[in-house]
Amino acid sequence: MSIKAINGTASNGKNPLISLVIPVYNEEDSLPSLFGELWPVMEALKRPFEIIFVNDGSKDSSFALLYDFYLSHQQNVRLIDFNGNFGQHMAIMAAFSNVHGDYIITLDADLQNPPSEIPKLIAEMDKGHDVVGTKRANRHDPIYRKVASKIVNKVTNSITGLKINDYGCMLRGYSRRIVDIIANTGETTTFIPALGQKYAVNPTEIEVAHRERAHGTSKYSLFRLIRLNFDLMTSFSLSPLQWVTMSGMIISFLSFILVAYMFIRRFVIGSEADGLFTLMTIQFFLTGISIMSLGIIGEYIGRIYKQVQKRPRFVIKKIWEDQDEQQA
């Protein structure tokens, strides 16, 4: 039976089914501790649950570890195996297209957000919140990332009009309605927490614990982080483009006044040749703005290019699931 056919058969709401979604990319060092910490928490919920792991093209032994865990927990575990590395957000997207639950919770595999925080999110969802956003209390990451995130959080909120205090915290809760909306957006690159917030009717935000990465290293290089943030900003707003237009208009207006002044000055005082370096500085500054503006326009064109290519956002090699359990 195909997964699609049983989508929509979420339980009747009295005892909501919990779907926990975990993207995994080269996490062989973290997975054994994750399994050990996660399982008791899920069992203690005393609710029906499924865990969906998405192997995002890991090159280490992550798949083998996930597959073993799946084999020994088939009733509650499903495993989506990607054809290659499509990124954390696409891994979550793939799981969102295949969830069965009423409450969907996303968690990173590296245990930076402890699984013991999951019940807190469920309690908020029980109160009727359709999106439970989170903020990392005492974030344990390198200082450069914390400073960069502070700036990104502020800038992104002002550009997108969203109100999210911590875009990067991925331990979050979404109702099935929100997840279905997110899964049906056709964007090739996106940012899941921002999509959730955009479509939320009754969102809330809570603090969750954060720890240092105990095993392995971050899967985001500086370049990947910058790319991800460009995706975030260009997916949710056109205002960077509007700034380019506005600053072009303001600079043109000021230059026009300067030209008029120089023209009159030439007749009244005569020509001038001083101030060469001032002129060069202004010119460098304007060249910088021009190149940046081209880059901003390029970001949007790049998104359009990806979108018109209509390539699949992710390619699933195989979904491992217990057929008997799924059909029951």
What residues make contact with ligand UDP under the rule CB under 6 A?
23-25, 27, 56, 85, 87-88, 91, 108-110, 112, 168, 218-220
100 CB-side CA count, 13 A:
20
The DSSP 8-state label assigned to residue 116 in this structure reads G
Say which entry of Mg ion, ligand UDP, none residue 87 contacts (CB below 5 to 8 A, set by partner kind): ligand UDP
d(CA 285, CA 277): 12
Strand partners, 21: 52, 106
Say which entry of ligand UDP, Mg ion, none residue 133 contacts (CB below 5 to 8 A, set by partner kind): none
Q: x-or-dash pattern for Mg ion, window 105-134, by CB under 5 A?
A: ---x-x-x----------------------
CB of residue 22 to Mg ion, shortest distance in Å: 12
91 vs 244, beta carbon nearer ligand UDP:
91
27 vs 81, beta carbon nearer ligand UDP:
27
Of the chain, the end-to-end C-alpha distance in Å amounts to 11
Using CB under 5 A as the binding rule, whether residue 26 contacts Mg ion is answered as: no
d(CA 39, CA 167): 27
53 vs 236, beta carbon nearer ligand UDP:
53
56 vs 124, beta carbon nearer ligand UDP:
56
Say which entry of Mg ion, ligand UDP, none residue 240 contacts (CB below 5 to 8 A, set by partner kind): none
Q: Are 50 and 78 in contact (CB under 8 A)?
A: yes
Say which entry of ligand UDP, Mg ion, none residue 205 contacts (CB below 5 to 8 A, set by partner kind): none
Say which entry of Mg ion, ligand UDP, none residue 56 contacts (CB below 5 to 8 A, set by partner kind): ligand UDP
Largest interatomic CA distance in the chain: 93
Tell me which residues in 79-108 interact with Mg ion (CB under 5 A).
Answer: 108
101 vs 168, beta carbon nearer Mg ion:
168
> Which residues are CB-neighbours of 9 under 8 A, at least 6 positions away?
100
218 vs 287, beta carbon nearer ligand UDP:
218
For residue 120, the Cα-to-chain-centroid distance in whole angstroms is: 21
Q: Pairing between strand 49-55 and 18-24?
A: parallel
d(CA 251, CA 229): 27
242 CB-side CA count, 13 A:
6
Residues that bind Mg ion (CB under 5 A): 108, 110, 112
